[in-house]
Amino acid sequence: MQVSLENTGSLERRMTVSLPAERLAGVVGQRLQEIGRTARLKGFRPGRIPPKVIEQRYGPQVREEALGELIRQSFDEAVRQEKILPAGNPEIVPADTGKDEIRYTATFEVVPEFGPIDVGLLQFERVTAEVAESDIDAMLETLRQQRQTWNPVTRPAQPGDLVRLSIVATAASGERLPAEGEEHGATVIGSNAMPAQIEAGLVGAVAGDTRDLDVEFPADWRVPALAGMTAKVSVSVSNVAESHVPEIDEAFIKSFGVRSGKEEVFRREVRANLERELRGSLMNRLRAEVAQKLVAAYARVELPPRLVQAEARNLALSTAENARQQGMQDVTESPEPFMNAARQRVAAGLLVGEIARQNSLSLDPARVRETMQLIASTYEDPSQVIELYRNDPNLMRNLQNRVMEEQVIDWIAERANATEQHMSFADVMRPAA
């Protein structure tokens, strides 16, 4: 294999690789022989298909797949030979497959020179927390509320009741909203889902009642014509229902898949789930804290521009897709608003990788298995999920990258100048404002 390397930019390289054509021919010939032993074609007995027929039927596809693998393998060999560290995937110019050689050109960016990284100089705060019995009680109450049912009543409505109603509003301008018919909805009295005057006006109402109210609508009300306005509102009650929250009994516990129906077993499972969520949140906090300090310490280091652009595009596409799923229209996919976040993520990823390289940190297979089992435990059939990971190279590679990053973050935290801040489970899990 012959390799020539040239600098086309401060962080961009162009590499030309030449391979003997016989390397490809040998792989293709071997694979076609294997196919010939097992292939089934109409008119031929298995194992008796002429090589020319196998070549005509499978040759182009096998050659294309083998060439792609050969290019990937030889590129990895070439960068090791030249002692360079690519940043991101290369752009490969289609190979020239001549009679005697295969030649291709790869253009790629390299990891910038960070120099020796002393993580002992980093100073940051490491959050710690634990799951208390009160956190388990709170989760059990949440589960009860999620399973609540509403039973119709004939008594007057009171706070906490669910009231189904229809509304007609008349704005100060005289405009009727809606223009025709009524707006139907429901609210729990005291939930503040509707303006305070409406919920207060529902207390004491029964099915069939109509109440005329003066209502001040908030500035962010969902109907623009009423937002921030005072209007006359006619509210008609169609149904009043009271809440029934189930007790934590055997039937309730079994409905969550706990076969024994015993509360102590249920509490153990709830604790395990909360502790898994807590570990994930603490790692995310630690990852963000370490990344922020690392990136700040190496802010002057030039980053691979194409890698940053690619990360910004990924962030833009992901954000746009999430917005569409929430029903938003005219969503932009421009990467420009995400460039700063992309630089932060690229810098953090490169620095974490460089720390692993400089300190010869390697992936811990036991930690990969533990993480995979932890993920699988959240599904109904964990063994099926584990099998899926083992049979999908992309899934497994993503898992390994995640575990390796967590190993490096933990390694940094153990050696950096970190102070601990203890927080409650609820504070750790509370979404950021």
* pLDDT, one tens digit for every residue, the chain (433 residues): 899 999 999 999 999 999 888 888 888 888 888 888 888 888 787 777 888 888 888 888 888 888 888 999 999 999 999 999 999 889 998 766 777 888 999 999 999 999 999 999 899 889 999 999 999 999 999 999 999 999 999 999 999 999 999 999 998 888 899 889 999 999 999 999 999 999 999 999 999 999 999 999 998 888 888 888 899 999 999 999 999 999 999 999 999 989 999 999 999 999 999 999 999 899 989 988 998 999 999 999 999 999 999 999 999 998 888 888 887 777 778 889 899 999 999 999 999 999 999 999 999 999 999 899 888 887 878 899 999 999 998 899 989 998 999 999 999 999 999 899 999 999 999 876 5
Domain 149-244: state its class.
Answer: alpha beta
Whether 234 contacts 168, CB under 8 Å: yes
CATH superfamily of 2-110: Trigger factor ribosome-binding domain (3.30.70.1050)
Count CB atoms within 10 A of the CB of residue 369: 12
CA distance 13 to 221: 56
Count CB atoms within 10 A of the CB of residue 162: 20
Tokens coding 301: 């280091």
Angle at 427 between CA 421 and CA 431, to 5 degrees: 120
Please provide residue 230's backbone torsions phi and psi, each rounded to the nearest 5 degrees: -105, 135
Whether 32 contacts 51, CB under 8 Å: yes
Closest CA to 211 of 161, 165, 162: 165
Please provide residue 155's backbone torsions phi and psi, each rounded to the nearest 5 degrees: -70, 165
Tokens coding 119: 């993580």
CA distance 244 to 144: 10
CATH hierarchy code of domain 119-135+262-429: 1.10.3120
- Strands 417-422 and 2-7 come out as unpaired
- Residue ranges, CATH 1.10.3120, the chain: 119-135+262-429
The length of the chain in residues reads 433
Whether 245 contacts 160, CB under 8 Å: no
Contacts of 150 (CB under 8 A, 6+ apart): 162, 241, 242, 243, 244
Count CB atoms within 10 A of the CB of residue 209: 18
